[in-house]
Amino acid sequence: MAEIPKSYDPQGVESLWYDRWLAAGCFKGKVDSKRESFAVMIPPPNVTGVLHMGHLLNNTLQDIMVRRARQEGKSALWLAGTDHAGIATQSRVEKELRQKQGKTRHDLGREKFIETASEWRDKHGGIILGQLRKLGASCDWDRTVHTLDDGYSQAVLQAFVTLYERGYVYRGKRMVNWCPVSQTGLSDEEVIMKPSKGSLFRMRYEVVELPGTFLEISTTRPETIPGDMAIAVHPGDERYQHLIGKHVWRPFPRAPIPIVGDSAVDPVFGTGVLKVTPAHDRTDFDIGKRHGLTVLDVMNPDGTMSADAGPLAGLERFKARDAAAKLLDELGALVKVEPYENTVGYSERADVPIEPRLSEQWFIRYPKIEEAKRAVTSGIIRFHPERWTKTYLHWLDNIQDWCVSRQLWWGHRIPVWYRKNSDRNESINRHVSLTPPTDPQNWEQDVDVLDTWASSWLWCLATLGWRKPGETTDELKHWYPTGALATGPDIIFLWVARMIIAGLELHGPEKKTLTDDDIRARIPFKRVYFNGIIRDKQGRKMSKSLGNSPEPLDLIAKFGADGLRFGLLSIAPKGQDILFDEDRVSQGRNFCNKLWNASRFRQMSGPMFDNSSLPSIITRIKAEHLDDDDFAILQGLAELTDTTSKHLEEHEFTAYAQGLYTFFWGDFCDWYVEASKARLADPLLRDTCLAVQDLVLRQFLLLLHPVAPFITEELWHLLGYGAENDFIQHHHTATGGDLLRALRDHAIKLVASKVSDVAQLREFVATIRALKSQTNQATRRDTVVTVIAKDSAARTLIENNRDKLYRMAGLAALDFATDAGNRPGMLSVLGTVVLEQSGVVDVAAEMQRLTKELEKVDKVVAAGEAKLTNETFVSKAPPQILEGARKQLEEAKAKRDELSRMLKTIGS
C-alpha cells in the first residue's frame, strides 16, 4: 500500500476516481424491480448556461441523496439534462447574428434560423453538464435528455394535443404581457414586478357639454392618450356622478370621448378619474368591454408608437412619453408633474418593462387544481421546509390561465394547423395533432412555439419515456414517482407546481377527479427540497454585473470538490438564503485535510491488517484490551450512525454535516486518538486499539461518503476497506443498533456509563489545562497537581485513568488530599484541582476571575432556592425536573462554598 502524502491534494484524486466510477458504470440507473427505486431528476439548466453558485449547492444536495440511496442498496437514478430555454437562447443567437452578420432572423428565414440556433447550441451547449462532473455529480450521463430531443418533443406536443382534446387548451384574443424586445407574449410568472421611479402627470380635460368645466386626471402613461376611448369615474362618486354620460375632449388627437361610470375605479386614488385605454391596460380593457368601447392599439409590437398614435406616431415608447408631456403642456392641459414611484412589470429575460397587449394566444386552463392542492396538504408530497406549502397553495387559489404560445422560432412549434383563409377561432378550421393534415396544401401551421415551461413541466415524465397518457415504460413503472426534487423556491410556480399538475393530469388515463391513491401514483416526486439562494457576504444576489460571484470551477480547484461541498453544506441553513463567504467554506477543505491526516496517522501507527469487512475488523478486537475510551467512541459511532440517518431522512443537511464534523474532529481526533497514543506504543494493547481505529474510520467514511465522495473513496481503498473494484457506494452503515449487535456477537458489550465517565475525564483534563494556562505553564509537562476528589467514585475514576490524565494534561504527578490549604485551585466535575507549582500567580487577576465565577454561581443558587421553595413548582413540576433542580442546587452550593473558600485563601 502506498504511503499517504502529508496533505490532501484533491486534484489528482478527484479526476482519477471520477473516471473510474464512469468506467465501472457506478452511476448507471438500472431498472430492477426487486430493489426499491429512488430517482432524482436534475432541474434542467439552460442549455447554454454555465455553472453558477446556485448550481453548486443544488446539485450537491441531489448528489447526496442519490449517493446515499445507492449505499442503501436502492436502485438509484440521477438523470441529467438541459432545457432549450426558448427566449434566452433565441435572444443570444439573434444577438450574435446581428453582431457578426448584421442580419435578423427574418433575413435567414425560419428553417435556416433554427439550423443556426441548433448549431450554436451544439457548440456552446451542455458545457454546464461537463462542469457538474467536476463537482462529482453522479448522474447517469447515458440518459441525458434535452427538451428538444425528438422523443421529448413528441411528449411535449402530445401533452398539448391531449389537453386540447380534454378541453383545457383554448385560443383567444386576450391581454397578455408583451415583451417589446423579444417581441413575444409572456406568462404572468415570467414577469418580474419592480418598483420604479417615474412621474405622475396631472392633466385637465374639458367637458364637451359644459365648456369651461374641467376634469383632472392623473396618469403615469400619457403616451397612451391617443388610445383613450373614455374616462371613467366610480358610479357612486358624488363629485362626478352628474357627469356620467357626458363627454370630455381628448387632447390629442382631439376628439370627444365619453365619461362612463365603473366600479373598478378607485375613487380615492388620485383625482378619482381614470383614463380608459382598452388596448394598453388590463383594467381598462375590462372596463372597455363593459362599456362597448373600441380597442385602439396605438403601439407596434416593437414598442414604437403606431400610426394610430397621431402626433406620437413612430416614436419609441419612452420618448413618446416625454413628447406627450410636452404636447399636453403646449395644449395647456398639463396641470402638474410630480415624481412618483410605482410597481412596473419587467420581462424576466430581456429586463425591460412589459406592455399589456391584446393579442391572439393559446392558453391552458389548469386541470386538477384541487388534486394538486390535496397532494401537498395531505402530505403525499412533502415540502421542505414546509412553509413553502402556503406559497404554493396561495398560487393555486389565485391561479390564472397560462399563456403558452410564444412568438418565437426556437422551441416546440405549436401542433395546430389552420385551414387557409378561414376563421381560426372556429374549431372546424383547426387541425390539432402531432401529424400534419393529409391535405397540407390547404392548411398552414401556427407560426408560434410553446413556452419553454410547457416542455419542462413534463420533465419527470418525459425523461423516463412518457410519450402519451396511458402508455408507459419500464423506467416509468420503476422510478416514477421520483424520490425527491431539489430546487430553488423561485421556480415554485414556474416549474414545481406545474410539474405536479402535469403529472396528475397526464400520467394515466383521463379521469375527472382523482382519489388519494391516484394522486400517489401520478405525482412526479414525493418530496421537494427548496434550497436557499446563494448571496454574497453582504446579502446581495450574485450577479454578473456586480461581479460578486466567484467562479465555481475556481472554488473547486481551490478547496477541492469535497471541501467545497462539505463547506457549502455546513453554511446552508435550511430554507434560508445563504451568505457566501470563502473563509467559511474553507472549513470544508480543512475538514477533508483532517480526515486525510487522521487516516495517515492510522497508517503510521502500525501495520494494516484485514480490513475487508466489518466482521474481519471486529474479530481483531480483544474485549479485555478495550478501555473506557474505546467504549465511548464506539458508542458515539453508533449514535452518529443513527443521527446521520435521521438528518438525511429529514433533509437536515446542515445538521448532517455538523454532526459528522463534531464527532470526527472533536471526539475522535482531539480526544480518542490523542488518548490512545500510549496504548499504541504498547505491543500488547496496540492491535485492539488499531482495530478500533479501523472500525471508526471505516464507518465514518461510509457516513461521510454522500457529501464527500472523492476523498472517502480514496481512503476506502488506501486503508484497505475495499478491493479495487469494490466501491464504497456498494456499502452501507446499517444502523447504530446493527453495529452494537455485531460487537456484542463478538462478546463486546458497550456500557453506557463509560460515555459519561469519558465526558467527565475530558472536562477534568480541560480544567487542569485551563489552570495551567492561567498560571502561565500551559506547555509544562511536569506539572504536579493535588486533587480534592468530589467523592470516592470520582477518585476511582481518576485513579483508573492516571496515565491517560498525565498524558493529556501534561502532568508529572497527581496526589489526593482532603484539604486544599491556601493554594489556588479550580473546580471541576471530579473535584477541586490545585496546582503545586504555582510560582507566578497573578493574585489580582485570579481574584477577579474567582469573584466573577462566584457571582455567577450565586445567581444559580438563588434561582434554585427560589424555585424549590416555590410550592407550586414543587407540586406541579414533573419528578425528574424536580430531582434535577435539587441536584443542581446542591452542586451549585458546593461550588459556591468551594469558590468562596478559594477566594479567602488567595486573598490571605
Contact yes or no for 628/801 (Cβ under 8 A): yes
Footprint of RNA on residues 287-316 (CB under 7 A)? none
Helix (H, G, I), strand (E, B), or coil: what is residue 48? coil
Closer residue to RNA in complex, CB, 170/601 = 601
Closer residue to RNA in complex, CB, 390/730 = 390
Per CB under 7 A, 597 contacts RNA: yes
Helix (H, G, I), strand (E, B), or coil: what is residue 571? coil
Per CB under 7 A, 583 contacts RNA: yes
Per CB under 7 A, 598 contacts RNA: yes
Helix (H, G, I), strand (E, B), or coil: what is residue 842? coil
Q: Closest separation between CB of residue 31 and RNA, Å?
A: 36
Footprint of RNA on residues 341-360 (CB under 7 A)? 343
Contact region with RNA (CB under 7 A), list: 1-9, 235-243, 271-279, 327-335: 1-9
| Cβ atoms < 10 Å from Cβ of 635 | 20
Which residues have CB under 8 Å from 709's CB, separation 6+? 17, 63, 67, 136, 138, 562
Footprint of RNA on residues 491-510 (CB under 7 A)? 493
**CA angle, corner 272, sides to 269 and 273, nearest 5?**
125
Closer residue to RNA in complex, CB, 181/191 = 191
Q: Closest separation between CB of residue 187 and RNA, Å?
A: 10
Per CB under 7 A, 336 contacts RNA: no
Closer residue to RNA in complex, CB, 153/775 = 775
Contact region with RNA (CB under 7 A), list: 219-227, 511-519, 692-700, 857-865: 857-865
**Of the candidates 124, 594, 807, 823, which one interacts with RNA according to CB under 7 A?**
594
Per CB under 7 A, 592 contacts RNA: yes
Helices and strands of the chain, counted as H and E runs? 32, 29
Footprint of RNA on residues 556-575 (CB under 7 A)? 571, 573-574
Site string for RNA, 39-78 (x = CB under 7 A): ----------------------------------------
Footprint of RNA on residues 393-422 (CB under 7 A)? 394-395, 398
Closer residue to RNA in complex, CB, 76/578 = 578
Closer residue to RNA in complex, CB, 321/589 = 589
Contact region with RNA (CB under 7 A), list: 31-39, 47-55, 670-678, 784-792: 670-678
Per CB under 7 A, 587 contacts RNA: yes
Contact region with RNA (CB under 7 A), list: 243-251, 349-357, 428-436, 588-596: 588-596
Contact yes or no for 752/736 (Cβ under 8 A): no
DSSP string, 660-708: HHIIIIIIIIIIIIHHHHHHHT-HHHHHHHHHHHHHHHHHHHHHHTTTS
Contact region with RNA (CB under 7 A), list: 196-204, 242-250, 391-399, 401-409: 391-399
Footprint of RNA on residues 645-664 (CB under 7 A)? 654-655, 658, 662
For residue 416, report the phi and psi dihedrals to the nearest 5 degrees.
-130, 130
Closer residue to RNA in complex, CB, 498/731 = 498
Q: Is 167 left (phi over 0), alpha (psi -120 to 50) or beta?
A: left
Q: Closest separation between CB of residue 159 and RNA, Å?
A: 24
Contact yes or no for 675/757 (Cβ under 8 A): no
C-alpha cell at 359: 393579442
Q: Closest separation between CB of residue 141 and RNA, Å?
A: 30
Host H or E run for residue 765: helix 752-774
Footprint of RNA on residues 866-895 (CB under 7 A)? 867, 870, 872-873, 876-878, 881, 884-885, 887-888, 891-892, 895
Taking alpha carbons only, the member of 60, 225, 421 closest to residue 429 is 421
Per CB under 7 A, 697 contacts RNA: no
Report the distance separating Cα 787 and Cα 769, nearest Å.
14
Q: Closest separation between CB of residue 711 and RNA, Å?
A: 11
Sign of the dihedral through C-alpha 733, 736, 738, 742: positive
Closer residue to RNA in complex, CB, 140/189 = 189
**Of the candidates 365, 520, 526, 856, which one interacts with RNA according to CB under 7 A?**
856
Q: Closest separation between CB of residue 807 and RNA, Å?
A: 12
Per CB under 7 A, 679 contacts RNA: no
Closer residue to RNA in complex, CB, 422/773 = 773
Per CB under 7 A, 584 contacts RNA: yes
Could you tell me how many residues of this chain bind RNA (CB under 7 A)?
77
Closer residue to RNA in complex, CB, 348/371 = 348
Footprint of RNA on residues 747-806 (CB under 7 A)? 765-766, 769-770, 773-774, 778-779
Per CB under 7 A, 548 contacts RNA: no
Per CB under 7 A, 837 contacts RNA: no
Report the distance separating Cα 899 and Cα 728, nearest Å.
54
Per CB under 7 A, 196 contacts RNA: no
Report the distance separating Cα 61 and Cα 52, nearest Å.
15
Contact yes or no for 194/343 (Cβ under 8 A): yes
Contact yes or no for 202/218 (Cβ under 8 A): yes
Per CB under 7 A, 857 contacts RNA: yes
C-alpha cell at 819: 484539604
| Cβ atoms < 10 Å from Cβ of 811 | 20
| Cβ atoms < 10 Å from Cβ of 288 | 23
**Of the candidates 68, 247, 430, 589, which one interacts with RNA according to CB under 7 A?**
589
44 DSSP assignment:
P
Footprint of RNA on residues 100-139 (CB under 7 A)? none
Does a cis peptide bond (omega within 30 degrees of 0) precede residue 481? yes
Which residues have CB under 8 Å from 77's CB, separation 6+? 29, 37, 38, 39, 40, 66, 140, 143, 479
Host H or E run for residue 477: helix 474-479
**Strands across the sheet with 430-432, in order?**
430-432, 416-419, 443-445
Q: Closest separation between CB of residue 666 and RNA, Å?
A: 7
DSSP string, 503-557: HHHHSSS--SS--HHHHHHH-SBSEEEEPPPEE-TTSPBP-TTTT----HHHHHH
**Of the candidates 239, 242, 336, 387, which one interacts with RNA according to CB under 7 A?**
387
785 DSSP assignment:
E
Per CB under 7 A, 193 contacts RNA: yes
Residues comprising the chain, all counted: 908
Strands 831-835 and 783-789: antiparallel
Contact region with RNA (CB under 7 A), list: 19-27, 316-324, 589-597, 730-738: 589-597
Per CB under 7 A, 459 contacts RNA: no
